[in-house]
Structure 1
């Protein structure tokens, strides 16, 4: 049992398996948690250079959502601005990690960081802007402060 505000991963294999099952659309819906979203994003950016995350993430998440019975529309499912905000956070976190660090350590460091918090996008966006239909359907620039580059 842990008192952490997130569920850490236990191994590199567990991180990779989550990402691979996401890509194969075999990850059960209940396992597609906040931690799974972030670990998969970090794994894709760091260890899967064959996948252009910026170009493909919307399609990958939307296809996964549909495969588990979800709907991607103006009110539910894939949210482009939140996703791209977290991608910026993952990249910023990776820049501060040592080269060659085990995958599980990088993922757990991300989850423990400010960028790993569920409310992290609200540092950059007002709630009204972030929860708007426009922000769900396409990327919107932050209205509070710039995203990390």
Structure 2
């Protein structure tokens, strides 16, 4: 699937639910960050995930559905990586080269399991409690 097709299918909610995995989420983040400011990418990503979930009947439960802290932290990591290494020919090429983004457990380098899995983290962005998230190149 091309980058344009990936993004279109996310935005029109026709992306197959069985393929809506960690990499698919991060590809959308990458594609938005290549087109928009960080703030606009975050708005589009969070509202898009919520709309996609609603269309596909994905319930917000204590352990499932949209997760604010994970969404923001992963967007931040993709943004930092993009600023450090630059874009690639495609989202797939970017993620093939940036293997550190593949493992969903990466956030546990920054967050304790209790904090990232807390009800508060699900609904509100919480900063990390183990180590700060890396800052993009040139960021203060």
- TM bucket (normalised to shorter chain) is 0.7 to 0.9
2:55 corresponds to: 67
Give distance in 2, aligned partners of 1:132 and 1:143. 12
Give distance in 2, aligned partners of 1:52 and 1:73. 26
Give distance in 2, aligned partners of 1:20 and 1:27. 8
Deviation at 1:115, TM superposition (A): 2.8
Q: For this pair of structures, how many residues does the alignment match?
A: 133
Q: CA RMSD in A?
A: 1.9
The answer as to 2:32 corresponding to 1:83 is: no
2:104 corresponds to: 118
2:89 corresponds to: 102
Paired residues of 1:19 and 1:43 also in contact (CA < 8 A): yes
Runs of at least 5 residues in structure 1 that lack an aligned partner in the other structure? 1-12
Instruction: Work out which of the residue numbers 114, 134, 139 in structure 2 matches 1:148.
Output: 134
1:49 corresponds to: 36
Runs of 4+ with >6 A deviation: none
Deviation at 1:40, TM superposition (A): 1.3
Between 73-82 and 118-127, report the one with greater CA deviation: 73-82
The answer as to 2:6 corresponding to 1:22 is: no
TM-score when normalising by structure 1? 0.80
In structure 2, relative to structure 1, the CA distance for the partners of 1:34 and 1:122 (3 Å cut) is same
TM-score when normalising by structure 2? 0.85
Paired residues of 1:81 and 1:140 also in contact (CA < 8 A): yes
Paired residues of 2:28 and 2:45 also in contact (CA < 8 A): no
Runs of at least 5 residues in structure 2 that lack an aligned partner in the other structure? 136-140
